[in-house]
Amino acid sequence: MTLDYEARFLRRKRLVTDQGWAFLVDLEKTTSLNDGDAFRLANDSHVRVIAADEPLMSITGDNLMRLAWHIGNRHTPCQIERDRLVIQCDPVIRHMLEHLGAEIREVFEPFSPEGGAYGEGRTHSHEHGRTAHAH
């Protein structure tokens, strides 16, 4: 099942796999799913989560740590890599980053930002076997 970043944050929702199979997700708490996580359905079959390609901004520049600080200061989800930062498209943040000397390129790829403080992410649970009910 291919889901973008926003769709991978859920608690109770009817989902449909890429093959058209529908099932209901009913988790104890709102959970952030990662690429490669899987739902175990009531019939013991599994549905793997695939992070969808989506429009993003790839950010490079001479001082990535400074740019990352400004992004974090605005509580913007950010994927941190060795030589670039990746965030969702936002014209206000883009304008700020350009004024700070960032080079920005629009890309279309999966988005997997860092988790929040204490490893919690978007209230992320590291339990990978999630149970759902097929309907």
H-run or E-run covering 94: helix 91-99
Collapsed DSSP state (helix, strand, coil) of residue 77: coil
Domain of 130, in residue numbers: 2-52+118-134
Query: pLDDT higher for 73 or 124?
Result: 73
- Tell me: pLDDT of 18 over 70: yes
| pLDDT tens string 32-78 | 999 999 999 888 999 999 999 999 999 999 999 999 999 999 999 99
Q: Are residues 29 and 13 in the same domain?
A: yes
Q: What is the CATH number of the domain that holds 59?
A: 3.30.70.790
pTM of the model: 0.80
Q: Are residues 57 and 89 in the same domain?
A: yes
